[in-house]
């Protein structure tokens, strides 16, 4: 359902893409201002574009060390871009209507409903206000907890700034940090770990899921199947990811092997939560074993949940794929989740999104292989991190690969980050719209052998 403005017809997918692109270009221009760069540093167009894209697409990959390269003004710009990027995927479609200064008609509310992934039309405009309030509440609580903790290590004013920046970065699933080494200095700190993980999970769950849980806790009924599915898959992947990382890295002296047991378990949990999809780390990702990197890639590819601040193909898409495999193996005609039958269009959409996402990661990896000398695993890890808007990066021998990328490789990652952020939303919306156009003629059935 297109939206007409100034004589032009704009579809919601096109509006989302153009709005994100406009935010990136504006952020690039602001970061190119000399005052945005720290004394003694130089910012070229590619660095500014890469950083702005990473911030708006809530990825967290960076070719430079943020606190060393950017001034206070530049870091404030990055903070604003992170906030815009995190909120944008859920609220831009609605805010566009407000900016146009028009009454939101029934037809336009339907567009908002579909753009926000709501099953009911009632309350979609009111949901935007709740999203904004919920965002501010989570970030304020997170900033307060981090400020109180870091005030023990640094001046109160600096601790407050660090608390705000990292709370916004964590809730929006970005992963930018002001330490230059992520959170490796706080690998065993319970306050920092619990606060950052809580913000990552809350932002990745999505506002609708949080609202459903809040209502269920208040005794307003059982959460709908979507919410229960999101919670079950999120909990399952975090638990399995923690166990797998602990088993793989528990004996690695460069990562978890050097840590005492309580800290080792906490670090494994953090490394399982962060790929969902925030690029924070409490151990050096570049020193992880190949098996662990592969496990993290799977977590990054799945990503967060629909309506959340993270990327990836989404937990529900992964859940639908697994349910379809289970139904096929069991010989069931219907695909069922949470005691409910799924419509065939949902199954088709899930497979389309997953296959296209895999093709994007594969193409990005192939281009990096032609441009970079690093081993395949590390380049595939970088491409998956960019598409999943995660921000984790691994370089052979330790550290991040991103600063070692050539200019052409950086352009590949920029395109992958942008596609990963706006692609799944626009793709899902476009497929949903097209599936409502019934064909009047059906072709004869063909029998094709598969497997």
DSSP track, 280-331: --SS-GGGS-HHHHHHHHHHHHH-S-TTSS--SS-HHHHHHHHHHHHHHHHT
* pTM, rounded to two decimals: 0.90
pLDDT tier, 436 (very low <50, low <70, confident <90, very high otherwise): low
Q: Are strands 336-337 and 340-341 parallel, antiparallel or unpaired?
A: antiparallel
Instruction: Say what the pLDDT of residue 336 is.
Output: 92
Q: Are strands 8-10 and 3-5 parallel, antiparallel or unpaired?
A: antiparallel
Q: What is the mean pLDDT of the chain?
A: 87
Q: Give the whole-angstrom CA distance, residue 57 versus residue 85.
A: 6
| pLDDT above 90 (res 4) | no
| pLDDT above 90 (res 10) | no
Instruction: Say what the pLDDT of residue 433 is.
Output: 57
What are the tens digits of pLDDT across the range 107-160?
555 545 544 545 454 555 676 777 788 888 999 999 999 999 999 999 999 999
Q: Give the whole-angstrom CA distance, residue 380 versus residue 57.
A: 19
Peptide bond into 277 cis (omega under 30): yes
Highest-confidence range of 188-197, 274-283, 329-338, by mean pLDDT? Answer: 188-197
The residue whose two tokens read 């005492």 is 260
């Amino acid at each position: 359902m297109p939206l007409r403005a100034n004589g032009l017809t704009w579809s919601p997918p096109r509006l989302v893409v153009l709005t994100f692109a406009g935010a990136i270009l504006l952020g690039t221009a602001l970061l190119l201002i000399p005052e945005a760069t720290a004394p003694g540093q130089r910012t070229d167009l590619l660095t500014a574009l890469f950083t702005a894209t990473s911030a708006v697409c809530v990825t967290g990959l960076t070719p430079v060390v943020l606190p060393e390269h950017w001034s206070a003004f530049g870091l404030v710009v990055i903070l604003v871009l992170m906030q815009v990027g995190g909120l944008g995927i859920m609220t831009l479609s609605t805010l566009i209507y407000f900016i146009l200064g028009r009454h939101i008609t029934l037809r336009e509310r339907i567009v908002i409903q579909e753009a926000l992934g709501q099953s009911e039309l009632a309350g979609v405009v009111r949901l935007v206000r709740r999203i904004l309030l919920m965002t501010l509440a989570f970030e304020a609580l997170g900033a307060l907890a981090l400020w109180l903790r870091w005030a023990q290590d640094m001046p109160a004013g600096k601790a407050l700034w660090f608390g705000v920046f990292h709370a916004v970065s964590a809730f929006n699933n970005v992963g930018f940090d002001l330490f230059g080494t992520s959170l490796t200095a706080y690998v065993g700190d319970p306050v920092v770990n619990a606060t950052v993980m809580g913000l990552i999970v809350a932002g990745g769950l999505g506002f609708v899921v949080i609202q459903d849980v809040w209502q269920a806790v208040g005794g307003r009924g059982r959460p709908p199947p979507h919410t229960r599915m999101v919670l079950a898959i999120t909990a399952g992947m975090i638990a399995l990811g923690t166990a797998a990382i602990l088993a793989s890295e528990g004996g690695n002296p460069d990562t978890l092997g050097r840590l005492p047991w309580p800290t080792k378990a906490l670090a494994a949990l953090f490394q399982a939560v962060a790929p969902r999809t925030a690029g924070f780390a409490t151990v050096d990702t570049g020193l992880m074993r190949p098996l662990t990197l592969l496990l993290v890639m799977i977590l990054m590819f799945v990503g967060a949940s629909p309506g959340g601040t993270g990327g990836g193909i989404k937990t529900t898409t992964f859940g639908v794929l697994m349910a379809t495999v289970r139904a096929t193996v069991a010989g069931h005609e219907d695909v069922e989740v949470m005691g409910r039958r799924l419509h065939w269009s949902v199954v088709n959409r899930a497979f389309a999104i997953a296959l296209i996402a895999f093709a994007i990661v594969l193409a990005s990896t192939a281009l990096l292989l032609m441009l970079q000398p690093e081993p395949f695993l590390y380049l595939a890890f970088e491409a998956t991190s960019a598409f999943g808007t995660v921000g984790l990066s691994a370089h052979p021998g330790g550290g991040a690969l991103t600063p070692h990328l050539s200019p052409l490789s950086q352009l590949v990652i920029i395109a992958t980050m942008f596609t990963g952020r706006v692609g799944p939303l626009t793709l899902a919306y476009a497929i949903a719209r097209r599936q409502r156009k019934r064909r009047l003629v059906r072709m004869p059935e063909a029998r094709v052998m598969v497997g």
